[in-house]
Structure 1
Amino acid sequence: MEKSKLFFAGNLKFLRERRQLTQQELAGKLSLTRSKVNALESGQTKAPSPEDFVRISEFFGISIDSLIKVDLSRLGELKLRELEAGNDVYLKGGNLRVLAISVDRDNNENVEYVPVKAKAGYMAGYNDPEFIAGLPKFSLPNLPPQGTYRIFPTSGDSMLPVPEHADIIAQYVADWTVISPGTPCVVILKGEQDFVFKLVTVNTDGTVLLRSLNPLFEPYTVSTAEVLEIWRFYAYTSREIPEPETDLQQLMRMVREMQTEIRGLKDR
């Protein structure tokens, strides 16, 4: 089994710098020595004491599990404030998206592939390190060095000209507020047995608009509470060559886009 990546040392430094504290200042607030704080941040202390974990957790308002298992630097400021306010999945069982990943022997993140037969299990095990570690893993060339990537198989023809059964390579989005309107994404929804590949717009009213490239499919909205994960499209692989849009399809797409714009104007 692949080992789980731990983030405690980096999280401690990130949280300290976010509070604009020096190591000496943080040490004073935690009743520790500066050398102890330095050792914790650099990972030189492989087994911090339970008392250290408790002090740091209480001071920053972040649960011990999140300090260890979640890369806090990848969360947006809004989500960090929610954590500090007590909306922590490990403390209250909330809907915080906690990403489980696996790494290789050199501590580089793998690109996991979620096969069709594992789709249903992914909904329950998306934040389970053991489930993620059991998925097929790949190392893909030319991926940007920053970010977490995963491969999702698609079904249906709602995103034509992207062919049916294409494999979507997508990047994990921790902060949904950075998604530009109409960004193609794989969306993991509660209670669904399949992944949704759509053009995504995150609205300020707590809803997410999901729109297809195929004009035959009506757009629809879901509550953000129904969303487990969002993965931004990066690339796709397929054995099929996409067919160009027909004139009728282009016309229908333009009509759909106009209808969407009109709805948006009416809602303002």
Structure 2
Amino acid sequence: MSNIVTQRFVKCHNKLKEDNKVRSSRQFALSLDYLPQSLSEILKGRRDVTIELLRKSVEVYRINPVYIYTGEGPMFMSEQGGQELRVLTIVTDGQDEERIVHVPVPAQAGYAEELTDPTFIQELPTFSLPDYKYKVGTHRAFDVAGDSMEPTLFEGDKVVCSYIEPTLWESSIKDSYVYVIVTRADVVVKRAYNMIKERQCLELRSDNSYYAPYKVSLGDIREVWYVRAKISPFLPSPQNIKRYLQEEMESLKDTIQAQSRTIEALNQTIQQVLGNPLDEKKL
């Protein structure tokens, strides 16, 4: 019985034949510099696929290594936009444990431009968190700039995010969740709406209604990070909370009074249009 990786490899092979991208198993084997007889043994479940054969398959047929090893995402890597396999620079400590790289506001423009420069990433500040969920996978922290995500996120907040592989963007980016989107020129924190399948883009929305939604094409996206937590320097005192609630109540009171005046004026207008029927009844 072959292992699960081999079984997924066989499914990719069968899919290539179904789509007529390879004429036969023999052609598939020869295109990968592999013996057809050995491939036959793999297809029959008598032996497991080798690392070298997987490497060649990724290179020649763009078989998705994420699917091969995890079962997630599409079988094949898309040739469109940014959904190609990338090498992500990480920073580790003396125990080879991965650190969380923090990207402050002054470094964000450079981060978008220097993603392929390991030295730039390694010179950014790093930290660790005790929660186990931050020990699995790659994480980044980004400063929040501006007021576009208020009242959810404020300027000066930091968001801690987990990396999403480009091959998983179509299936993993969920509507209305908050993500850090790294484009070719900028780093933004927004709510994303997934339009990759239909339009090859994401629609990005702010929580502050002053800012209009906009779309960013898949080809302009370089990284996507799912926001898992925020670190906020703002801790309101009880006096501030009380004052805030009082202001909200006064604002609500003013709104209700304004609506009452509008309704009263509307009633008077209706009575005038109808010829004051109430006055006629009194006569």
Residue number among 202, 207, 218 corresponding to 1:224 in the alignment: 218
| C-alpha displacement of 1:105 | 3.2
Q: Contact 1:150–1:171 at 8 Å: present in 2 too?
A: yes
Q: Which has the larger radius of gyration?
A: 2
Give the structure 1 partner of residue 76 of structure 2: 81
Are residue 158 (structure 1) and residue 148 (structure 2) matched?
yes
Q: More helix per residue: 1 or 2?
A: 2
Contact persistence 2:82–2:221 (CA under 8 A): no
Deviation at 1:71, TM superposition (A): 11
**Secondary structure in 1 aligned to 2:77?**
helix
Match of 1:170 among 149, 158, 161: 161
Query: What residue is the counterpart of 2:28 in the other structure?
Result: none
RMSD: 4.1
Gaps of at least 5 residues in structure 1 are: 1-12, 31-36, 42-51, 252-268
SS at match of 1:113: strand
Higher mean C-alpha displacement, 95-104 vs 137-146: 95-104
Which residues in structure 2 correspond to 1:34-73 (within 5 Å)? 56-58=54-56, 60-62=57-59, 73=69
Confirm or deny that 1:114 pairs with 2:103: yes
Amino acid at match of 1:111: I
2:194 to 175, 194, 202: 202
Amino acid at match of 1:122: Y
Provide the residue aligned with 1:96 in structure 2. 84
- Per-residue deviation, 1:132: 2.2
For structure 2, which runs of at least 5 residues remain unmatched after alignment?
Answer: 12-34, 41-46, 256-283
Q: Counterpart of 1:169 in 2: which secondary structure? A: strand
Sort the Cα spacing of 1:228 and 1:183 in 2 relative to 1 into closer, same or farther, 3 A: same
> CA distance change for structure 1 residues 180 and 216 in 2, over 3 Å: closer, same or farther?
same
Match of 2:209 in 1: 215
Runs of 4+ aligned residues of structure 1 deviating over 6 Å after TM superposition are 242-245
| Cα distance in 2 between the residues matched to 1:197 and 1:155 | 9
Structure 2 counterpart of 1:189:
183
Corresponding pairs, count? 204
2:55 is matched by which residue type in structure 1? S
Is the alpha carbon distance of 1:103 and 1:140 closer, same or farther for their aligned partners in structure 2, counting shifts above 3 Å? same
Structure 2 counterpart of 1:164, one-letter code: E
Question: How far has the Cα of 1:20 moved from its partner?
Answer: 5.3
Selected match of 1:234 from 222, 228, 232: 228
Identical counterparts, % of pairs? 27
TM-score for both structures, normalised by structure 2: 0.58
* 2-structure distance, mates of 1:104, 1:76: 29
Stretch deviating more after TM superposition (198-207 or 149-158): 198-207
**Cα drift, residue 95 of structure 1:** 5.5
- 1:133-167 Cα shifts (integer Å, max 9, x gaps): 22222111214143321000111000011111211
